[in-house]
Chains A and B, each alone.
Chain A
Amino acid sequence: MRTTLRKAARTLGRSGTASAVLLLVVVAAALAAPLLAPHDPNQGNLLDAYGGPSGAHLLGSDGIGRDILSRLVFGARTSLLGPALVVGISLLVGVPLALAASWYGGWVDAVVARVFDLVYALPGLLLAVLTVALFGPGLTPAVAALSVAYVPFLARIVRAAARQQRVSPYVDALAVQGFGMLRITGRHILRNIAPVVVGQAAIAFGYALLDLASLSYLGLAVQAPTPDWGVMVSDSDALLKGYWLPVAAPGVLIVLTVLALTVLGARISGDKPPGYLKRRRRSAAPPDRTAVGAAA
């Protein structure tokens, strides 16, 4: 267990490990919300309206006296559920399409790839706004629209990685052992490109979270009384009255979570942390003291 963790930390690097820890904390908070939240997220005491941080309300309270920390903890649930659905549905649709396209090649691949390009050209937010205009605001239409929009974001990467595997000699060897397309793509190709898929999914999760928060901020996705980070940021009343904490706290959380997802996704896909090469080179060849002295 210990060595597994240490190995994971080494592959992820410092920033990746920090991101993973932060995300674990957020997910744990969402799961254990009723246990962690000090107050009912929807029950306010008007006497506490815009109360600053105190022993009872660590992050203060909002305009109708609801505990901000509790709303953040419960808000993690809706804020994470939406992107989880978006990424899940996109993967379910996009990965089989991408694998089939890379396997069969030819016109199948051409058609699928062009459809991906076409959908990729549509901005996800615009599609979501259109859907909401048709079906009315709510989390379901927003998630549905974003799910479609995120298919190419995931599937294009999967297709490229799978094509590379498809022409590997081991795939021919498997075919000549009598295995069919489903087994080779599902059990071998997908498995071998898993880091790319998971990494890209993490990055997509961050973007979807941001998109859904934006939609909720505009009042198009999650609706007002429900605790949600995007909804909380839209509390313009607090800002107008000069109270920044009710808006800044969820805003910072959104930024940190999306940042962590992006960094972690990049590390999982195999991108090296910035400065990696420089550090490597330095450790590989110890600096020549005389040269440094001469330069200085």
Chain B
Amino acid sequence: MSTEPLLELSSLTVDFATEDGGSRTLLAGLDLTLAPGEALGLVGESGSGKSMTVRAITRLLPPAATARGAIRFEGRDVASMDAAALRAYRDGGVGLIFQDPRAHINPTKRIGAFLTEALRHNRGLGRGEALARAEAVLAEVGIDDPARRLRQYPQEVSGGMLQRVMIASVLLAEPRLILADEPTTALDVTIQREVVAILDRLRRERGMGMVFITHDLDLALAVCGQVAVMYAGRIVELRSAESLHERAAHPYTRGLLGSRPAIDARAPRLTAIPGRPVSAFEAGPGCAFAPRCAFATRACESEPPQLVPFEGGLVRCARVEEIHAERTDKRTSKEATA
């Protein structure tokens, strides 16, 4: 790796001050590296710290939250940026696609004004040119009659279309890094696939890096080169999307993969991971997943596991070697009986 990483998080920790004066850890030491033009999926259940990661990267943490550790964008430390540098970083450096476009677009302004404000105010473009660009990008994200849409208000268009408008606004700014925080969760399944496909294509064409946050493992596998699975504010497994299906090693990742319904068979009951997801501050001293893990031993509950290389990826599981051995044993014995 000779090129400088686009984004580098090293032991990023986010603590949340509670009303009673205590503090709760939401992110517990996140290490991530993203090369320019690459896409990384961040997958996990609610409360696993995905959105806090995005908020920390853009310095949009709520006042009660404090971030420790380092966030470097193109080698520059994000936390130490002054107001002007922060604005420049947010203007052309990162673009954030929010989960709920309806809440994140000022409802009293027309779509045209929303799309052109950054171009006109931050880039000094004229009104005509900015509108022409906005129209072109709206067409690119698959919106019919873009000229008419520019004159409409956000509440006059559907949620799917508004999410495309939001994607268009990010593409217009041409950032080096797109942060997509569950961009399709609020959409119908059919539109979901279309929107993700558009986002994926345009990102590749423009060579933008992306952090794609989702709780949908398949969606992440479809658009990302690397996938990081998060649990309780930590990465539990990091590996390439191609190898995740076959080589998922962490019991949690395998649980996630196993809980998806098969497309070609009727399932009377979906497999679920027992228990409920916990946040980082609720986790015990050992492995956060141990209470729900079928492979957990007593040691798992007291000794925090480290992120270690395993079969081409990184896995945070103390028993990964043993579990894997068991699995291969079972497989070979099955093959023997067959």
What is A's interface to B at a CB cutoff of 8 Å? 105-106, 168-170, 172-180, 183, 188, 191-192
Contacts and interface: CB of A to CB of B under 8 A. Distances in A.
A171 to B, nearest CB: 9
B106 A192 contact: yes
A173 B58 contact: no
Contacts of B88: 178
Contacts of B104: 169-170, 172-173
Nearest to A173: B104
Interface stretch (B16-24, B92-100, B133-141, B254-262): B92-100
21 contacts: A168-B103, A169-B100, A169-B104, A170-B104, A172-B60, A172-B104, A173-B98, A173-B105, A175-B60, A175-B90, A176-B60, A176-B94, A177-B118, A177-B173, A178-B90, A178-B118, A179-B87, A179-B122, A188-B109, A192-B106, A192-B108
B91 interface: yes
A176 B96 contact: yes
Secondary structure type dominating chain A contacts: helix
A180 B87 contact: yes
Contacts of B269: none
Contacts of A179: 87, 117-118, 121-122
B83 A180 contact: yes
A180 B122 CA distance: 10
B169 interface: yes
Nearest to B170: A177
B165 to A, nearest CB: 12
A176 B105 CA distance: 12
A170 B103 CA distance: 6
Interface in B59-84: 60, 63, 83
Contact of A188 (B83, B106, B122): B106
B174 to A, nearest CB: 12
Contacts of A192: 106, 108
A106 B63 CA distance: 9
A106 B107 CA distance: 27
Contacts of B89: 178
Contact of B106 (A170, A176, A180): A170
B91 A177 contact: yes
A172 B98 CA distance: 10
10 tightest A-B contacts by CB? A178-B91, A173-B104, A169-B103, A178-B90, A176-B96, A170-B106, A169-B104, A178-B87, A176-B58, A177-B118
Nearest to A191: B108
Contacts of A172: 60, 104
Nearest to B113: A187
B167 to A, nearest CB: 13
B121 A105 contact: no
A173 to B, nearest CB: 4
Interface string B38-62: 0000000000000000000010100
Nearest to A169: B103
A178 B118 CA distance: 8
Contacts of A176: 58, 60, 90, 94, 96
Contacts of B94: 176
A287 B108 CA distance: 38
A41 B87 CA distance: 60
A178 B120 CA distance: 12
Nearest to B57: A176
Contact of A183 (B63, B90, B98, B121): B121
Nearest to B63: A105
Contacts of A175: 60, 90
Interface string B105-130: 11111000000011001100000000
Contacts of B118: 177-179
A251 to B, nearest CB: 41
Nearest to A180: B87
Most chain B CB within 10 A, of A173, A175, A179, is at: A173
Given A169-B98, A172-B60, A188-B109, 13 more contacts: A168-B103, A169-B100, A169-B104, A170-B104, A170-B105, A170-B106, A173-B105, A175-B60, A176-B96, A178-B88, A178-B118, A178-B122, A179-B118
A140 to B, nearest CB: 38
B208 to A, nearest CB: 16
B106 A174 contact: yes
A157 B108 CA distance: 20
A173 B105 CA distance: 7
Contacts of A173: 96, 98, 104-105
Given A191-B108, A192-B106, A177 B60 contact: no
